[in-house]
């Protein structure tokens, strides 16, 4: 699931991986990187993409048959070591209320050919009133 800028801490700290994605896709098109080596998503990621991923309007750049799905994993205090796959905005709101800092990783995945790529990494905003209350 993708999230908007309003969920970020002041709009800072976002790491966008679009340039590395473009570079990798260019290498695949040139034949320098095999499709098999980039279509190797873990079965759990593909399951999440099929069942709870946020549909996107982006067609898979490898198979060009279906649209990729966005899957968001969150890591941080009190979460399992392999993170938590968030399914909707309410999951994020619950994490914000804890006052702890979390990091979200948004991955695109193709349920057809198993292409996957990390799109962006972003901090989850802690509401200002929560941060203020935690300090005082």
Burial class (CB in 10 A: 0-12, 13-18, 19+), 68: buried
Band (pLDDT 50/70/90 cuts) for residue 129 is low
What is the pTM for the complete model shown? 0.81
Band (pLDDT 50/70/90 cuts) for residue 10 is very low
pLDDT given at position 88: 84
pLDDT given at position 46: 97
Closest to 3 (Cα-Cα) out of 115, 130, 122: 122
| Dihedral sign computed on CA atoms, order 1, 61, 35, 22 | negative
- Per-residue pLDDT reduced to its tens digit, 70-82: 999 999 989 999 8
- Per-residue pLDDT reduced to its tens digit, 15-60: 999 999 999 999 999 999 999 999 999 999 999 999 999 999 999 9
């Amino acid at each position: 699931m993708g999230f908007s800028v309003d969920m970020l801490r002041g709009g800072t700290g976002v790491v966008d991986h679009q340039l590395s994605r473009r570079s990798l896709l260019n290498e695949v098109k040139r034949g320098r990187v095999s499709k098999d080596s980039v279509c190797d998503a873990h079965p759990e990621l593909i399951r999440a993409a099929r069942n709870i991923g946020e549909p996107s309007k982006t067609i898979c750049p490898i198979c060009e048959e279906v649209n990729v799905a966005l899957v968001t994993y969150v890591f941080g205090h009190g979460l399992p070591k392999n993170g938590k796959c968030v399914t909707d905005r309410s999951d994020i709101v619950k994490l914000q209320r804890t006052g702890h800092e979390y990091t979200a990783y948004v991955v695109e995945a193709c349920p057809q050919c198993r292409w996957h790529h990390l799109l962006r990494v972003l901090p989850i905003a802690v509401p200002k009133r929560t941060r203020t209350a935690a300090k005082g």
